[in-house]
Amino acid sequence: MKKKLIKSTVLLLSLLVGVASVAVAVTEVDMDLMQRIEESTKNVDSNISLKDGKAALADAREIEEMFSKVELYYKHKGDAADAIEYARKSKNFATELIRQVSEKDFDSASATVSSLAKSCKTCHQVYKKS
């Protein structure tokens, strides 16, 4: 009986922690996340040039995941339909990269990185203050 109670307390606590971290993930598009996006974008670019499929794939997956967070952030923030769309576009470029790199189509992947870089600027022009 007691054991059961402890078990459900632990479960409840871990649920709470889970909810808290999701909340953190969506309430901040902080500089940290953007810095990491920039870092991974640079990495994926050079890894595609080096035709290092494994590393490029890891980078592209990270970029995809980070833009999912950006998209979620703007969804929760509200009144930012354009930003949601920009984030989704960037995420889709990352998804495309994953496919192209998996198929070892490095030429197309390289073109996709250029499109991704342009998509950063599009959003910054509207939503980045400085």
Residues that bind ligand HEC (CB under 6 A): 29, 31, 34-35, 37-38, 41, 70, 83, 86-87, 90, 116, 119-120, 123-124, 127-129
| Phi, psi of 12, deg, nearest 5 | -60, -45
- As measured in angstroms, the least distance from the Cβ of 98 to ligand HEC is 15
One DSSP character per residue, 56-86 reads HHHHHHHHHHHHHHHHHHHHHH-S-HHHHHH
Q: Which is nearer to ligand HEC, 7 or 124 (CB)?
A: 124
- As measured in angstroms, the least distance from the Cβ of 10 to ligand HEC is 36
- As measured in angstroms, the least distance from the Cβ of 104 to ligand HEC is 23
